[in-house]
Amino acid sequence: MLHGGITALLMDEVASAAAFVEFHRRAGKSLGEMPPPFFVTANLNIDYQLPVPISGAVTLRARPTEPRAPGSRKVWIECTLSCNERCAARSRVLLVRLPETSLARERL
């Protein structure tokens, strides 16, 4: 069975990618038209519903869930991980975009 930590890692990565795409969509830009935003995970909450066999394929889906106030750096993403067309885990992830001049961003 797939380890729960690997499930968390996959969901965190897919949520971050969804936040990246949503950032561009809200700015009215295509991917690659602006400097890439960097997001950090502020909260990751997962409900594990079924064990996931490591022999099968998994499907991950993510989408933003709450409207973001103009200028807000926060975005909530809902994510599901499915195996054999059955939902095995659901997550709600809060991501925060680092400011352009962030010291943490400069260290990356």
* pTM > 0.95: yes or no: no
Q: Which residue range(s) make up the domain with 70? A: 4-106
* Spatial separation of the C-alpha atoms in residues 18 and 72, rounded to whole Å: 16
55-66 per-position pLDDT tens digit: 889 999 999 997
**Residue 57 dihedral angles phi and psi, to the nearest 5°:** -80, 150
CATH code, 46: 3.10.129.10
Q: What is the DSSP letter of 105?
A: H
Q: Tens-of-pLDDT digits for all 108 residues of the chain? A: 999 999 999 999 999 999 988 888 888 889 888 888 889 999 999 999 999 988 889 999 999 997 666 678 899 999 999 998 999 999 999 999 888 776 555 555
Count of structural domains, the chain: 1
